[in-house]
A and B are shown apart, each in its own frame.
Chain A
Amino acid sequence: AQSVTQLGSHVSVSEGALVLLRCNYSSSVPPYLFWYVQYPNQGLQLLLKYTSAATLVKGINGFEAEFKKSETSFHLTKPSAHMSDAAEYFCAVTKVNTDKLIFGTGTRLQVFP
């Protein structure tokens, strides 16, 4: 069965520092993988998605993620954090033969000045 694991429920960085949010997946078939961002009391917004094209995926707001099959990972990065990046981030994988998404438990990113 598909699943995703997000390592670290909270991550804190200084403004301007590298952001690295970790996501590992488990899937018996080539997966579709997604990163979503959620600001307080709002819905989730799609940041980027991997659908078996390029392994390095660029998304909105300067984020990118690299699909590494050998490591079953899809970590989210941003070279320089901004205060406005403070939010909760969710990694998700598509359930086989459906378009239902299985979400990780989320990582809350704090950015300090």
Chain B
Amino acid sequence: SQTIHQWPATLVQPVGSPLSLECTVEGTSNPNLYWYRQAAGRGLQLLFYSVGIGQISSEVPQNLSASRPQDRQFILSSKKLLLSDSGFYLCAWSVTTGYGYTFGSGTRLTVV
């Protein structure tokens, strides 16, 4: 069966520090992968999506970047965190239109 792993679950980082969040998928090949951010009291904002290794599309200009070094690995990064980067980050995968997404358990990032 397919599973998605996301870590860490919580993270507190000082302003200006780097960030690396990792997401891995098991049990499927060539998934579409997504990073969403959920800020307090707001909906879900699509940050990045990837349809294959090394293929990254950014939905919004921001302080973050994403990479897909392997088929089932998706990494969200920042060189210098801002206070506004705080939020709940969710990774998700899908395989085809109409299938919907399967989400990871999320990472709560607090930038202090």
Q: How far is the CA of A41 from the CA of B90 in the complex (A)?
A: 11
Given A99-B32, A100-B46, A105-B43, A94:B98 Cβ within 8 A: yes
Using a CB-CB cutoff of 8 Å, which residues 66-102 of chain A contact chain B? 90, 94, 98-101
Most buried by B among A34, A99, A103: A99
**What are the interface flags for B41-67 relative to A under an 8 Å C-beta threshold, 1 for contact and 0 otherwise?**
011101001000000000000000000
In the complex, A26 has a CB within 8 A of chain B: no
Please determine whether A43 and B42 come into contact, CB atoms closer than 8 angstroms: no
Using a CB-CB cutoff of 8 Å, which residues 79-112 of chain B contact chain A? 88, 90, 92, 94, 96-106, 108
Q: Give the B interface residue count (CB, 8 A).
A: 24
Query: What size tier do the contact residues of chain A reach?
Result: 20 to 34
Given A41-B108, A43-B106, A106:B100 Cβ within 8 A: no
Q: How far is the CA of A100 from the CA of B45 in the complex (A)?
A: 11
Please determine whether B106 and A101 come into contact, CB atoms closer than 8 angstroms: no
Chain B residues with a Cβ under 8 A of chain A: 6, 32, 34, 42-44, 46, 49, 88, 90, 92, 94, 96-106, 108
Chain A residues with a Cβ under 8 A of chain B: 32, 34, 36, 41-46, 49, 51, 90, 94, 98-101, 103-106
